[in-house]
Amino acid sequence: MSTTNPDERERGLALRIRPVVFAAAILVQFLAPLLVLLAVVGVIPRDPGLIALHVGIWVVVGLATLFVSSNRSTYLLAAMALSYVAGLFLVIEVTTPGGMGLVGILFPVVGYGIAALVLVFSGLREAAMRRTRQIGVDTVATVMSAPVTGMVNYVTRQRLTLRFTDQQGVERFFRVGRTGGGYSTGDTIPIRYDPTRPWSKRGILVEGSGPTLFAAPR
């Protein structure tokens, strides 16, 4: 038993080390290319031990990033996972005798390329949500269908088809995934959308999209 709130203690630690961890999360993206470059020019040997070094550093930085992140964006997690795997294949290709052939060359290129695209989509999504929080219009969407698509940690996952009417009187439909909501056809859900781009799903915030959804300044 402790005389201090462990949540507050962890939160305080996370806030103190967050700048360093985020800087490390950016720098670690260049770890594999740097190791490969140093190995190719002969500064370091082409030793399979570089694979363990790559994995070890990534594991430490990845766990630290999860610890300090207040909002674990699916986009950013996917980008980091792709970058890690692409870099791992790159290191294996250079340090393993004979390499992996075409796979060892193409996979890193494709992996890094997709990771870059995911980051672009993440930036567009964040910009759209930020704009919606600032100038968005609040309304209510109706659940048109809510089929169960699977389970996440033994909790039901549903794919909701939602309908709402924008300021111009146009009915619009979009889909979102929700876990553990127990939604049924006919239920209503508060949403906020960008009135200048009501057709953009990227800019629609559904209740539960974030803690500041309806607390943002209007």
What is the value of pTM for the model shown?
0.70
Quick one: 17 and 120 in the same domain?
Answer: yes
- Summarize pLDDT for 18-56 with one digit per residue, the tens: 889 889 999 999 999 999 999 988 888 888 889 999 999
pLDDT at 208 (0 to 100): 62
For residue 153, is it within any domain? yes
The domain total for the chain is 2
**Are residues 50 and 12 part of one domain?**
yes
127-178 pLDDT tens trace: 998 999 999 999 999 999 999 888 777 788 889 999 999 999 999 999 998 8
The pLDDT-based confidence of 75 (bands split at 50, 70, 90) is confident
Q: Is residue 212 part of a domain?
A: no
**Taking residues 49-68, what's their average pLDDT?**
91
pLDDT value of position 192: 94
- Pick the residue with more confidence: 11 or 68? 68
Question: 199 with 163, same domain?
Answer: yes
Listed residues 86, 108, 130: the one ending a domain: 130
In a domain? residue 121:
yes
pLDDT averaged over every residue in the chain: 85
Which of helix, strand or coil describes residue 138? strand
Tell me, yes or no, whether 106 and 173 share the same domain: no
> Which is nearest to 171 in space by CA: 158, 161, 181?
161
User: Residues of 115-128 as b/e, b for ≥16 C-beta within 10 angstroms?
Assistant: beebbeebeebeeb
The answer to whether 176 and 74 are in contact (CB under 8 A) is: no
Report the C-alpha gap between 62 and 71 in whole angstroms. Answer: 14
Rounded to an integer, what distance in angstroms lies between the CA atom of residue 140 and that of residue 190?
Answer: 4
Instruction: Tell whether the model's pLDDT for residue 61 goes beyond 90.
Output: yes
- Residue 105, pLDDT > 60, answer yes
Query: Stretch 183-194: mean pLDDT, rounded?
Result: 92
Structural domain includes residue 211:
no
Q: Which of 97, 130, 163 is the last residue of a domain?
A: 130
Given a contact cutoff of 8 angstroms between Cβ atoms, the answer to whether 149 and 158 are in contact is yes
Same domain, 178 and 195: yes
Query: How many C-beta atoms lie closer than 10 Å to residue 200's C-beta?
Result: 15
Q: Which residues form the domain of 156? A: 136-206
